[in-house]
Homo-oligomer: A and B are copies of this chain.
Amino acid sequence: MVLSLDEAVRTLVHDGDTVALEGFTHLIPVAAGHEIIRQGLRDLTLVRMTPDIVYDQLIGAGCARKLVFSWGGNPGVGSLHRFRDAVVHGWPAPLEIEEHSHAGMTNRYVAGASGLPFAILRGYSGTDLVGNNPNISTVTCPFSGQEVAAVPAVNPDVTVIHAQRADPSGNVQLWGITGIQKEAALAAGRVLVTVEEVAETLEPVPGQVLLPGRIVDAVSVVPGGAAPSYAHGYYERDNSAYQAWDGISRDREAFNTWLEEQIGVPAAGGT
């Protein structure tokens, strides 16, 4: 149950998988993302509501074939330049995209967690998202005749999240802004959780989400594994790292240097 991050990624994530590394500006599983880059995984379909700098890094490193998302940016800073470069110029590889609204992605995870083939919501009506994404449709209420939007469930092969604590049985506890992590984990075929620490017993915390160990495949102890995002009660967001990423990511050469120096892997594309 408790594995090294290296072993957990090797065991649970495979080339071609659909992978969700979820987190809503809080508890982003950055260290796990870096390990995926390090292991040279390829052809991943990356799923996330809010792809941020770790997704920019995965895309720039050439791990992704496709991105399924609702808002891709550097939160509080600006755009994701590796993402842009992949979409606009196909560097280092073409990136297929499927985009939704937050409301749509949220409900795709809820449907995935619920064992339903699709979800309904009031959304998308009149937007150009509809015509550009075959995974947005409508159904008609059999009672009122009202038409509502429909989106298919998302069921990642693997969901990766970061949490504050786990116990030796793999029960996982996270708190603060809990985002969509519960649904992303329940929707997945396999679940990898990096945690700040393992504790013998998990003292209840107000507002916590507890994921029972039986839905968790591996726990890896990675203190600081969410940095430069934050872990409520453990450490703060390193805002300067987000700002610095803007400069690094604008330039392919600077990115390649970052990749080699910080992650220890060769660049995926020339400049």
In the complex with contacts A116-B120, A122-B115, A152-B143 CB distance below 8 A: yes
Cross-chain contact of A148 among B116, B122, B208 (Cβ < 8 A): B116
Chain A: residues with Cβ within 8 Å of the partner, total of 26
A142 part of interface (Cβ distance < 8 Å): yes
A127 part of interface (Cβ distance < 8 Å): no
Contact code string A194-210 (vs B, CB < 8 Å = 1, else 0): 00000000001111100
* B143 and A135 contact, CB distance less than 8 A: yes
Nearest-neighbour CB distance to chain B for A229, whole angstroms, equals: 23
A254 part of interface (Cβ distance < 8 Å): no
* A139 and B137 contact, CB distance less than 8 A: no
CA distance A142 to B111 in the complex (A): 14
* B152 and A144 contact, CB distance less than 8 A: yes
CA distance A189 to B145 in the complex (A): 22
* B137 and A142 contact, CB distance less than 8 A: yes
Cross-chain contact of A144 among B118, B204, B206 (Cβ < 8 A): B118
In the complex with contacts A206-B205, A206-B206, A206-B208, A143-B117 CB distance below 8 A: yes
* B121 and A141 contact, CB distance less than 8 A: no
Contact code string A87-99 (vs B, CB < 8 Å = 1, else 0): 0000000000000
A150 part of interface (Cβ distance < 8 Å): yes
In the bound complex, residues from chain B placing their C-beta under 8 Å from that of A207 are 204, 206, 208
Closest residue of B by beta carbon distance from A111? B120
* A143 and B118 contact, CB distance less than 8 A: yes
In the bound complex, residues from chain B placing their C-beta under 8 Å from that of A169 are none
A sample of 19 cross-chain residue pairs with beta-carbon separation below 8 angstroms, ordered by A number, consists of: A115-B122, A116-B120, A116-B122, A117-B141, A117-B143, A117-B144, A117-B146, A117-B148, A118-B143, A119-B120, A135-B143, A138-B142, A141-B150, A141-B152, A143-B152, A204-B207, A205-B206, A206-B207, A207-B208
